[in-house]
Amino acid sequence: MRLSTVIVMSLGLLAACDNSGKVTPVTVQWMEWPAEVNAGQPFRTRLVVWGVCAINPQFRPGVSADPADVTFAPYFTFEDDHILCAQATGSFLTVATLDTAGIAPGLAATTTRSYEMRAPMPDFAFNALARDLSVGTFGQVVVQRSGADPARRNAGGYASIERDSLNCLRVRPLGLYAPDAAMALDDQAAAGASVALVRGYLYEATTPTCGETRLFHRVTP
């Protein structure tokens, strides 16, 4: 784990603890969703968000849609006051993020068209509170009247491009450190990076890479 990433996680989590209210908005650092959906069909979206220091926090995705966008504005509600993160044991880094899901509403389309997928993004000014940040675009979802192909999933957000112990190049969403959280990159000749904004899609390849057929294709550096 890079020291800079630890600092980002630690300070981002501490920032989320500063809110003394009982609703805390948070940012989204990674999102996955179907590349295509049928009109009117709600769809499941993966969200990786900053956590909060509170007793029994309840996550809410805060999703809405308008004629051009699907926007997630995630937040936590809780009954008790925030606890002090610094008093937690060495495990506090592991609860800095929540890997969860939100259901996007069905979208209108009389012909094939696209909507932007949006949410508050971290700005790496070491503040994870969504009210201090602007909403960014993670990518697009294509809406068809019928016949949408569910095989491909778009993905985007902040991630590291890293090589594992077997020299396999992988994409790891920011804040997720489980061994299976990193996805094999189909372009094994790509350069690595510490943390960067990444956009692309997940698909089933005919030829395995790093022993896997479920691969990530990056469409932006």
* 61: amino acid identity, one letter: P
Domain boundary among the residues 109, 128, 149 is at: 149
Same domain (yes/no): 144, 196: no
Nearest CA to 159 among 143, 183, 178?
183
**DSSP one-letter code for 185:** B
> Using CA atoms, how far apart are residues 214 and 1, in angstroms rounded to an integer?
24
Q: Check residues 51 and 61 and name the one with the higher pLDDT.
A: 61
Residues 6+ apart with CB under 8 A from 189: none
What is the tens place of the pLDDT at every residue in 206-220?
999 999 999 999 997
Instruction: Among 37-41, 81-85, 106-110, 154-158, name the one with the lowest average pLDDT.
Output: 81-85
Across the range 80-103, mean pLDDT stands at 61
Give the pLDDT score at 221.
Answer: 60
Domain boundary among the residues 149, 169, 191 is at: 149
The total number of structural domains in the chain stands at: 2
Same domain (yes/no): 40, 85: yes
Domain boundary among the residues 131, 149, 167 is at: 149
Same domain (yes/no): 182, 97: no
